[in-house]
């Protein structure tokens, strides 16, 4: 059963390069164990197809009591994900230990104009609606979003968080404790040399020397940066080099959240009116 909603059916036309061609990025290379409770809006998405033969993970963040922010390509898989089998783990720290709550998924909305190219994603953002509301507590909170006036650059204090691979092909070891990594935003003109497809709705972050990056299992997770009012979510982990994670000269590419504030705010309040089910 298809449960994701699209703002336009053109997404079906724009899946250039086939369903399996795009890069899959999930986990953090060069990170460290995050202190418990430091990132209370971080969630784990455990996604499964209807047959239970395929399972994959993504990161996400809590927007409010019933909505989670993640990457669109997490839901652009075949076989398609099942809302009955997939779950959002809230208040998680070590995945092999009990999470605060396991939440059922009701539906999701993919970003406007989302499409999947053979080597990258465009408008890679999605909103996931939970069937029941989250009860906030000390270790379960909503993330703060940036304003359109906020600016971030190489000197900003930024972090990525996730439960993905710690090296190419090396999963996070038990008990699968949440990883954090302080990284730098890369100037667009520098990043565009490696990723000519980069648009104004994307940004790059990482280390041009290599060794610090998101990896398989981290996609959909956040890039957060410090402001005077605390951390805000600046980006959503989207993709990187097809050759592997944390390679020299190949930083990660992120969806720039500030470019989608209208999409987020309109849909989490008026989802049924603003979207068309496909």
- CA–CA gap between residue 235 and residue 214 (Å, rounded): 12
The verdict on domain 42-141+262-274 having CATH code 3.90.190.20 is: no
pLDDT tens, residue by residue, 48-97: 888 877 888 899 999 999 999 999 999 998 878 888 889 999 999 999 99
Q: Where in the chain is the domain with CATH 2.40.10.10?
A: 42-141+262-274, 143-258
Q: Which of 3-17, 85-99, 175-189, 198-212 shows the lowest per-residue confidence on average (mean pLDDT)?
A: 3-17
Single pTM value for the model: 0.86
Find the Cα–Cα–Cα–Cα dihedral 130, 12, 256, 237, rounded to 10°: 70
Q: What is the DSSP letter of 257?
A: G
Task: State the architecture of 143-258 in CATH terms.
Answer: Beta Barrel (2.40)
Query: Which residues are within 8 A (CB) of 275 and not within 5 positions of it... i.e. 6 or more apart?
Result: 5, 6, 7, 109, 267
Q: Where would I find the beta strands (DSSP E) of 20-139?
A: 28-29, 32-33, 42-48, 55-62, 67-70, 87-90, 101-110, 115-116, 121-122, 126-130
Mean pLDDT confidence for 157-174: 85
pLDDT above 70 as % of the chain: 87
Average pLDDT, the chain: 85
């Amino acid at each position: 059963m298809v449960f994701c909603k699209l703002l336009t059916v053109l997404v079906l036309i724009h899946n250039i390069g086939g369903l399996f061609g795009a890069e899959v990025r999930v986990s953090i290379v060069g990170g460290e164990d995050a202190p418990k409770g430091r990132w209370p809006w971080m969630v784990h998405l455990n996604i499964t197809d209807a047959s239970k033969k395929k399972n994959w993970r993504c990161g996400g963040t809590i927007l409010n009591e019933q909505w989670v922010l993640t990457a669109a390509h997490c839901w652009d898989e075949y076989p398609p994900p099942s809302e009955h089998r997939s779950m959002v783990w809230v208040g998680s720290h070590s995945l092999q230990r009990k999470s605060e709550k396991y939440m059922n998924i009701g539906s999701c909305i993919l970003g406007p104009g989302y499409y999947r190219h053979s080597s990258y994603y465009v408008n890679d953002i999605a909103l996931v609606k939970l069937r029941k509301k989250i009860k906030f507590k000390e270790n379960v909170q909503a993330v703060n979003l940036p304003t359109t006036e906020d600016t971030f650059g190489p000197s900003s204090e930024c972090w990525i968080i996730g439960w993905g691979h710690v090296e190419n092909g090396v999963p996070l070891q038990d008990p699968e404790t949440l990883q954090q990594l302080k990284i730098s935003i890369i100037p667009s003109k520098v990043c565009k040399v490696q990723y000519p497809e980069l648009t104004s709705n994307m940004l790059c972050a990482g280390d041009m020397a290599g060794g610090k990056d998101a990896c398989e299992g981290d996609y959909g997770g956040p890039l957060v940066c410090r402001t005077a009012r605390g951390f805000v979510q600046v980006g959503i982990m989207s993709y990187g080099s097809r050759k592997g994670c944390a390679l020299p000269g190949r930083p990660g590419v992120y969806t720039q959240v500030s470019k989608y504030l209208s999409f987020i705010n309109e849909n989490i309040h008026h989802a049924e009116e603003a979207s068309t089910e496909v």
